[in-house]
Structure formats: C-alpha cells, structure tokens
Amino acid sequence: MRYRIVIGVACCMLLSACATHNQPDVIRDPYGLLAGIWHGLLFPLALLANVVAFMVNMLIGLLRVLMTAFDMSWQMVTAITGLLNLVATPINSIEIIGRPNTGLFYYLGFGLGLLAWVGLLSSASDDKK
C-alpha cells in the first residue's frame, strides 16, 4: 500500500516539474530605476487616490447597511451602490508601489522621486520667506 502512495506522489512531483507558467509581459519586464523615479513623483497622487478609494468603499458599505436597516428595496440598494462602484473600481486599481519591480534599483528610483518632492516643497517654502 505504501508503495503505491510513494509512486503516486513521485509521479505527481515529476509531472508538476514539467509545468510552465504563462507570464504576462509585465512580469517578464519588471519595473526598474526610471519607473521607480516616475512612481516616486506620482506618489502623492497615488496616495490621494487610495484615500479616496478607501472612503468610497467605506461609503458603499455604510449605505448598504443603512439602506438595509431602513428596509429599502434591494433593487435600489444595488442601483446606488452600483453607481458608487463605477467611481471606485478604476480608483481601486491604482497602487502606490509598482509590482513587479526589480527591487533595489526600483526602490532607489522611488526614493529619488520622493526626494524631488521634498526639494520642490522646500524650495517653495524658501520662496515665501
């Protein structure tokens, strides 16, 4: 009996070693230094989009609870939350950090992009003085 189990597991492992994965082009060509700089420059906008998406998703949940508590028709609940989902769906796809990335070089570029914001804000505050 053990012999059959061992042979079965060995065959499964042998067959799974031959498996290939279809990778999208993004995984074959991950983000590097320049993309990291660009994403660092876009960080404030991406952060704002994530905050807005969080608020809209919380509003959708709150509206569902309130509409169900006040015995509104299910069609009305679905219609209103569907309209809010039209706003939230594109915003939910915005990420703060690009994936997949090359690691060190991407994060170095991301830091350089953030430093550009720090330099821009400090020069703007120096101009006011």
CA atoms 36, 42, 47, 52: torsion sign: negative
What is the per-residue pLDDT across 12-43, written as a single tens digit (0 to 9) for each?
566 555 555 555 655 666 788 898 899 899 99
Number of domains observed in the structure of the chain? 1
Q: What is the largest CA-CA distance in the chain?
A: 85
What 3-state class would DSSP assign to 31?
strand
pTM (predicted TM-score): 0.63
Binned at pLDDT 50, 70 and 90, residue 99 comes out as confident
Average the pLDDT over 68-82 and give the result: 77
Tell whether 24 is covered by a domain. no
Binned at pLDDT 50, 70 and 90, residue 112 comes out as very high
Q: What are phi and psi of 93, to 5 degrees?
A: -80, -5
Tell whether 93 is covered by a domain. yes
pLDDT at 108: 93
Tell whether 34 is covered by a domain. yes
Q: What are phi and psi of 95, to 5 degrees?
A: -110, 155
Domain extent, residue 48, equals 30-121
Tell whether 35 is covered by a domain. yes
